[in-house]
Amino acid sequence: MAHSLATTDNEFEGATHAATIGVLVFVLRYEDLCAGDSVALHPLTHDGAGFEIGRASEVRPPAMEGKTFLLPDRFVSRVHARVVRRDGKGFLEDAGSKLGTFVRGERIQGPVALADGDVVEMGQSLFVYRLVDEPTAVRMMTHRAGFAFGPTRTLCPEVMRLAVDLDRLARSDQPILLLAETGAGKEVAARYVHDRSGRAGPFVAVDCGAIPEHLVEGELFGHRRGAFSGAHEERKGRIRSAEGGTVFLDEIGNLPGTAQASLLRAIQENEVTPVGADRGQKVDVRWMAATNVDVFSEKSGFRADLRERLAGYVGMLPPLRKRREDLGVLVAHLLARRGVERASITRAAARALFLGDLPGNVREIERSLGSACLLMGDGPIDLQHLSALRARAASEKEEPASEPPGVEATDEVRRNKARPPRERIEAALFRAKGSQVEAARLLGVHERQFARWMDAYGIPRPRKGPSGG
């Protein structure tokens, strides 16, 4: 299989391939969030394929040299870990490093089989392991530093696939429906299509969920002068404002039923009838829509005929928690957009920010970094600078949490307050997204006891704030 990894994109089109090739992606270093130097490492194409990861002797961009991926991370040992494929599976093994190798938040002892989406930490560096099929591995190798997508790049196989599809569809007039959670980048994807569409008209985004129900039709289709009291001027409406361009109907799943019927007519006829008018007016627009509501379920109350009209192509943008390999380029991009040229983050804050569920997706990272950059001063971003995460952790604490495997309080810990191994403490902190209070609760001990253990192992303590973590 190694030999068939060609460097063209289309070689394997149409064939079906099992996702069996492991690709470890270097995502970011906590010490330099602005670097944006994420890169996909050698794919594990066949048994015996593998490489080492170690510290670069001088400061320079991370790069593969021979069979070693060299990182400018002073917390990484000269030879830190090895990745190898055996019996069709990717294994990670610590090579006797000083500070250890962590998979899913736990320090590994022997070789560990990696699973799709696994987060790996070494020193102050973060990696993500992805399992892909052969064409995708080819694509990732062709675009090791990421595939151009919107204002940044993507190293996520699913987003690369989406970007390729959108590229191909861009010049057609096929309607496109994007499904994604809030803040995942639906508008970014819609603009990506518009920018490649060759359409000279504008890109007009309408947040269908934000318009009061009684105003929706006027907002979309416009109105005639005198159509209702207060309509002193004729109004074009958003759809006609996009003439020659693209209408992007965001949060379409929240469009009220009456407006759904009018919109269906507009899409079918390419014609809109302003409120108060007796005749429709032709429009030339590209229709795009997005939703985080499952409009394919009957329960959503969304009209099936409208859905069919909009769904010329249905694209899914994965939530950020399923594409953490993109965190490096996204973070660098978001910081550059704010004019930040240097930023670092403590390990506890990085774990809290990057390894949680990220329900607000890219927007959540954007907001958190935005305020953290104003608060951090000259030091690294620390837990105390991540106010939204702290607030959420505090509210989640109210609800009973299920105990994670390997972290739960053992009787021994509870009775004797015996100091658990370092990796257990770190795993608890990881599960608790960096909150000391929550990690202590997971281990069933008082926060002060937990803090003493952290000190004993030299684990840096976040400064205290309202959530105690």
Ligand X SMILES: Nc1ncnc2c1ncn2[C@@H]1O[C@H](COP(=O)(O)OP(=O)(O)OP(=O)(O)O)[C@@H](O)[C@H]1O
- CB of residue 272 to ligand X, shortest distance in Å: 23
- CB of residue 196 to ligand X, shortest distance in Å: 15
Residue 64 vs 316, nearer CB to ligand X: 316
| Measured distance between the N- and C-terminal CA atoms of the chain, rounded to whole angstroms | 48
Give the per-residue SS3 of 15-78.
CCCCCCEEEEEEEEECCECCCCCCEECCCECCCCCEEEEEECCCCCCCEEECCEEEECCCCCCC
CA pair distance 182, 251, nearest whole angstrom: 9
CA pair distance 110, 84, nearest whole angstrom: 13
Piece of 65-73, 257-265, 360-368, 442-450 that binds ligand X (CB under 6 A): 360-368
Residue 114 vs 335, nearer CB to ligand X: 335
Tell me: does residue 436 bind ligand X (CB under 6 A): no
- CB of residue 336 to ligand X, shortest distance in Å: 10
Residue 56 vs 362, nearer CB to ligand X: 362
- CB of residue 413 to ligand X, shortest distance in Å: 41
- CB of residue 371 to ligand X, shortest distance in Å: 15
- CB of residue 249 to ligand X, shortest distance in Å: 11
Tell me: does residue 250 bind ligand X (CB under 6 A): yes
Tell me: does residue 462 bind ligand X (CB under 6 A): no
Piece of 12-20, 150-158, 225-233, 404-412 that binds ligand X (CB under 6 A): 150-158
Residue 250 vs 438, nearer CB to ligand X: 250
Dig out the tokens for 355 from the structure.
């390894």
Considering only residues 395 through 424, tell me which ones interact with ligand X, judged by CB under 6 A.
Answer: none
Distance, CA of 63 to chain centre:
24
In this chain, which residue has its C-beta nearest to ligand X?
185
Query: Do the beta carbons of residue 95 and residue 55 sit within 8 Å?
Result: no
CA pair distance 111, 126, nearest whole angstrom: 18
SS3 content of the chain, % helix, strand, coil (to 5): 35, 20, 45
Task: Name which position in 52, 121, 134, 187 contacts ligand X (CB under 6 A).
Answer: 187
CA pair distance 398, 387, nearest whole angstrom: 17
Tell me: does residue 183 bind ligand X (CB under 6 A): yes
Centre a 10 Å sphere on the Cβ of residue 300 and count the other Cβ atoms it contains: 14
Tell me: does residue 247 bind ligand X (CB under 6 A): no
- CB of residue 205 to ligand X, shortest distance in Å: 8
Q: CB under 8 Å to 298, separation ≥6 — which residues?
A: none
Tell me: does residue 366 bind ligand X (CB under 6 A): yes
Tell me: does residue 362 bind ligand X (CB under 6 A): yes
Query: Do the beta carbons of residue 38 and residue 61 sit within 8 Å?
Result: no
Tell me: does residue 188 bind ligand X (CB under 6 A): yes
Residues lying near ligand X in the complex (CB under 6 A): 149-152, 180, 182-188, 250, 292, 330, 333, 362-363, 366
